[in-house]
Chain A
Amino acid sequence: MAHASGAQPVGGPLLTRPYKWLLAFLGLWLVILFWRFAAGIGAVSGLTDGYPWGLWIAFDVVIGTALGCGGYAIAILAYILNKGKYHPVVRPAILTSALGYSMAAIAIVIDVGRPWFIWRIPLGGWPDLGGYNWNSALLEVALCVMAYVIVLWIELSPAFLERWAETSSGWLQSLTRWGLKVVDKLLIWIVALGLLLPTMHQSSLGTVMLLAGHKLHPLWNTGWLPLLFLISCVGMGYGVVVWESAVSSAAFKRERETAMLTSLAGTIMVVNAIYLVLRLADLVISGKTLMMFTSGIYSVMFWIEIAVFAAPIVMFANRRRREKFGTMFRASILLVLAGALYRFDTYLVAYNPGPNWTYFPNLPELLITLGVIALEIALYIFIVKRFPILAGVPAARSAH
């Protein structure tokens, strides 16, 4: 498992016109963030005591981390099932994951009301170690996500180390070369962690909503939440990888990895099929069959979810269409949408705190979320242009 062969920095100028617009928007974002910390969360969001979790948690954190499951999903294929042809996609997937999870961490720091005590979490509550609630699913998510962010950047580090080894000299070069060796030796254990940790926290993100009890609509409230969250995040991971690959190829004018990506179709069908079977079986077994149809708007949202999960299966049913990249691209969007919709419904739509509570994100809240996305895009472009992440021809133009 040496560095992904053929990966090159995309190169080209960084401060293009669109990039400057992005940076300008990030400037505005920083101003809003300052306001958020100076004036409190209520000033910049539509969150209320009835809906304490809104866009930032449901989208930036829960959906955001699931979008960061590309690395996880591809690693299963590339490293565990040993399908070597997926190796070129591993690094971009890991980058997307690292950025996705880092953005989710930023979103959490923005969202929590008293972030100055976050530093205690990785210390397990030190100095009062007995005080933490080790039963809490959310603690599991917090620790796991913190660890996973570190693991992802370590997994990605060869891209940086390779670049720095090339461009530096003297002691820095020796240091980076040494670093590459260390990472290579430990890679198995790091990758294993990178497979274990998302399994844990993506499922725990499902367990978290179990405590909502009667406030979570019965069509979503089930002991199978962790498993359903886990399976759907795998599907989302594949969706993100395909989508990200297609967009990068188009944006940076590289050849598309069509054959490799379209071969994911079989896996995707299996993953989504397992999800659908489990979801529907659980509802039927718990006697909620009729509820699927008689719950008004909740039934509508439920069946939309099911339809979006089923759509890729239907699209891939035709062998010829399966091989077309267009089909795969559309399926990837639907994959991501399906998992995102499931999470959005579980955390927001199916959550009902009682009459006369409503929630809709307000303008600053939306801008903060857009800012997080903008930051991710800006960092992605920067890293991809300067470091060997993307494989495939044509090679990079002059790096400056």
Chain B
Amino acid sequence: MGRMERPLRGVADPPADGVGRRDFLKVCMIAAATVGLPASVGRRWAEAAQAGLKPSVIWLHFQECTGCTESLLRTSHPDLGELILDLVSVDYHETLFAAAGYQIEEALHQAMEQHAGKFVCVVEGAIPTKDDGIYCQIAGRTAIDILQEVGSKAAAVIAIGSCASWGGIPSADPNPTGAVGAKDILTGTTVITIPGCPANPYNFLGTVLQFATMGTLPALDDKSRPLFAYGRTIHEHCPRRAHFDAGRFARQYGDEGHRLGYCLYALGCKGPETHANCSTNHFGEVPDCWPIGLGHPCFGCTEKGIAFHKPLHEAAVLPENAHPPIFPEHRRSASVPAVGAAGLVAGAVIGAGLMASKKIAVKDGEDER
């Protein structure tokens, strides 16, 4: 039975027939490929999972819209169900679990005790800090407390989505709840951030799988974002870049330039200021399913200070080398040989003048006698 023929399932229904070994291997290899790792790594994942080594994941939700979880549900490489059941063991997830109330809190404590120091803590949503953080409480405890407790026992903390990364939409001006990202609470720990609104699910999947099966984290930038996904700006690998460079812009939604797929910079696209890989890893597993692909300018959802801050249609700042300064540098022609030669000539002329002068003085002296 081919992978593609199976209908999409909700994770509430476990697979009726289980997952065949070949399909599982295929899933792992596709997952590895999606995040830029070689197929051999996918094979190792499959082997590790089948050996029963399924790392524990504790998923915390705070000030969030659950969009990041939802975006994970829209994946099929691997299917979140596969991920949950076959590759990792999600031991606490408020949205996906059927349990609620004391039951689920008990699950959380058990998971923390059982896998202390080994589980991956995933944070979704911002953490309010104003007024001691009372604006988000679960089971009577503030988000700050929960995060500090769970985070301190985790092997790795991954903040998924812009909210957990730097505050996201709850932190939009005037930020009435003092919302911040997980990094600002867990100041001592390495918190990997996967910003985006929602985060691109494959960025998350790749990071989790790498840690879960190989125990290593991907290379991170200065904001703790994996470089494989956030190393470039949208502008640097945008399919419409050629239009930008040729000066072809859409000026109004629906005008001819817009319909021809021209660059959206003039409409306020924040691509030049936004680090993300949406242009190469589209959403919803539908080609071109990402803002610019659909004809709307990027609004910089991964970037603090851009998303929910800069007006949608305000022009983005282009990279440093795009414009020369008012008085650009020009060719300098004072090379060493030139200056040397000029100096030699000048010296020779002065020397000759002095010598001639002396000679004439001598002759003058002779003449006088």
Contact = CB atoms under 8 A, between A and B. Distances in A.
Contacts of A303: none
Contact of A360 (B327, B339, B353, B356): B339
Contacts of A365: 338
Given A354-B327, A361-B333, A325 B364 contact: yes
B340 to A, nearest CB: 9
Given A46-B338, A325-B364, A366-B345, A359 B333 contact: yes
A361 B330 contact: no
Contacts of B342: 360-361, 366
Interface stretch (A24-32, A161-169, A197-205, A326-334): A326-334
B332 A363 contact: no
Interface in A206-255: 246-247, 250
Interface residues of B, number: 24
Nearest to A55: B342
- Please indicate which of the listed interface residues B329, B330, B341 has the most CB atoms of chain A within 10 Å of its own CB: B330
Interface string B321-340: 00000011111111101110
B360 interface: yes
A50 interface: yes
B357 A330 contact: yes
A108 interface: no
B330 A46 contact: no
Nearest to A356: B327
Given A363-B338, A366-B342, A326 B330 contact: no
Contacts of A324: 364
Interface residues of A, number: 30
B296 interface: no
A326 B357 contact: yes
Contacts of A46: 331, 333-334, 338
Contacts of B329: 356
A360 B357 contact: no
B19 interface: no
A360 B364 contact: no
A48 interface: yes
A370 B360 contact: no
Interface string B357-369: 1011101100100
B335 A363 contact: yes
A365 B338 CA distance: 9
A362 B360 contact: no
B364 A366 contact: no
Given A360-B338, A366-B338, A326 B345 contact: no
Contacts of B353: 333
A246 B360 contact: yes
A356 B331 CA distance: 9
A201 B194 CA distance: 75
A365 B345 CA distance: 13
A370 B333 contact: no
A355 interface: yes
Nearest to A327: B364
A258 B367 CA distance: 10
A82 interface: no
Contact of A366 (B341, B356, B361): B341
B360 A50 contact: no
B202 to A, nearest CB: 47
B360 A325 contact: yes
A358 interface: yes
Interface in B224-274: none
Contacts of B357: 326, 329-330, 333
12 contacts: A46-B331, A46-B334, A246-B360, A325-B360, A325-B364, A356-B328, A358-B334, A360-B338, A361-B333, A363-B335, A363-B338, A366-B341
Interface of B: 327-335, 337-339, 341-342, 345, 353, 356-357, 359-361, 363-364, 367
Q: Which 8 A-B pairs have the closest CB atoms?
A: A46-B333, A360-B334, A355-B327, A326-B361, A326-B364, A362-B338, A356-B327, A362-B333
Interface of A: 45-46, 48-50, 246-247, 250, 256, 258, 324-326, 329-330, 333, 354-363, 365-367, 370
